[in-house]
Amino acid sequence: MQRRDFFKQAGVASLALGAGAAGIGTARAAADHQWKLITSWPKNFPMLGTGANRLAELIGELSGGRIQVKVYGAGELVSAFEVFDAVARGTAEMGHSVASYWKGKSEIAQFFAGVPFGMTAQEMNGWLYHGGGLELWTELYARFGLIPFPAGNSEVQMGGWFNKEIKSTADLQGLKMRMPGLGGEVIRRAGGTPVSLPGGELFTALESGVIDATEWASPYIDLASGLHKAARYYYYPGFHEPGTTLEAMVNRAAFEALPADLQAIVRNACKAINQDLLAEQTARNPGALRTLIERHGVLLRAYPDDVIAELKRLTEEVVSESAQKDAFSRKVVASYRKFLQESKEWSRISELAYLQARDQG
């Protein structure tokens, strides 16, 4: 009995020592992998800023503390539009943003955020994860020492905030509208003036008249921005961003310095956040839209059919010209168009047919 007690006590002591050693090892590993995550969003902003926070927390939890990630909002470490360069040069190991902001780096990068009249969130995820899109995106970002991961989606956005009604394409002439990416080029060709501003500056710019109109995102995000206090008319659909993919970009050297298990954790944490942020939008947008209309008196309007037709025609011009830039651009546009066409053929007898049937009567 005494000998059994001795071994039992010795076993408990060994377990305690092992646990202590494991704790020390975890602490040492954590010190080796302390990352900065910089964003293009205001600190703690709903869905965008909080989504970056959750990504950082998830990486820490899944790694058992071996990677610790500190989040910086736009302007805390670098400005919203400096995220790409800062992660590329190693100022931060990770960034959370959207590829439509990086036209100056590569025009074709915008396709990995979203294309006017293009893929929805579900279709984008299909193309990126299983249709070759992510491989192309990775090939592009490798030129800059970066690795991209899908890390959220705004689903179909709203068309924008205006202080006047849009009754025809003539109302777009001379309109100063905040709209980045390919959608901004479409607005330019329609006679407007696209303006690129980070989200944190939109309310002031719209209220002061620096811009005449702005798009931002969805009712959930727009409500939190207070844009209803600066404009009356809220237009749909968001032709310019039908399923905008958010990105987590990682400095390639920092990523490759991680052991294989931690690389897998970062990769799959981004995949989990990609799904989580889309689900959050789907859950929050209906209530936010009701609040905007019923409590704040926002006037909901649909773009006229002739305006949509013209914007769609101009989009085809923009996309076709993008395919002529260089061989890599042709490859991206061809891949995108092929997947979109196949998705449209399927959605006609699946999602679209079902929604029409559901809404009958």
Residues 227 and 216 sit within 8 Å (Cβ to Cβ):
yes
> Cα separation of 120 and 171, whole Å?
27
CA–CA gap between residue 134 and residue 132 (Å, rounded): 6
**CA distance linking residue 262 with residue 273, whole number of Å:** 16
102 and 95 Cβ atoms separated by less than 8 Å: no
**Given this model, what pLDDT does residue 33 score?**
92
- Give the pLDDT confidence score for residue 29 in this predicted structure: 42
Instruction: Say whether 300 sits in a helix, a strand or coil.
Output: strand
**Chain centroid offset of residue 14 CA:** 48
**pLDDT on residue 28:** 44
Q: What is the per-residue pLDDT for 32?
A: 80
Homologous superfamily in CATH for domain 25-153+243-282: Bacterial extracellular solute-binding protein, family 7 (3.40.190.170)
Q: Are 229 and 207 in contact (CB under 8 A)?
A: yes
Contact 120, 131 (CB under 8 A): no
Burial pattern 161-182, b for ≥16 Cβ within 10 A else e, equals bbeeebeebebbeebbbbbbbb
CA 110 – CA 101 distance, rounded (Å): 7
Closest CA to 311 of 151, 184, 148: 184
Tell me which amino acid residue 162 is: F
Residue 89's region, left for phi above 0, alpha for psi from -120 to 50, else beta, is alpha
**Rounded Cα distance, 341 and 333, in Å:** 12
Q: Is 296 in a helix, a strand, or coil? A: coil
pLDDT of residue 145: 98
**Smallest Cα–Cα separation from 120: which of 160, 149, 151, 155?**
155
pTM of the prediction? 0.89
Distance from the Cα of residue 36 to its chain's centroid:
19
Please give the distance of CA 82 from its chain centroid, rounded to a whole number.
Answer: 16
Give the tens place of pLDDT for each residue, 172-211.
999 999 999 999 999 999 999 999 999 999 999 999 999 9
Domain boundaries, the chain: 25-153+243-282
pLDDT value at residue 11: 41
Residue by residue, pLDDT tens for the chain (361 residues) are: 343 443 334 343 333 333 333 443 444 444 489 999 999 999 999 999 999 999 999 999 999 999 999 999 999 999 999 999 999 999 999 999 999 999 999 999 999 999 999 999 999 999 999 999 999 999 999 999 999 999 999 999 999 999 999 999 999 999 999 999 999 999 999 999 999 999 999 999 999 999 999 999 999 999 999 999 999 999 999 999 999 999 999 999 999 999 999 999 999 999 999 999 999 999 999 999 999 999 999 999 999 999 999 999 999 999 999 999 999 999 999 999 999 999 999 999 999 999 999 999 7
Distance CA 33, CA 13 (A): 30
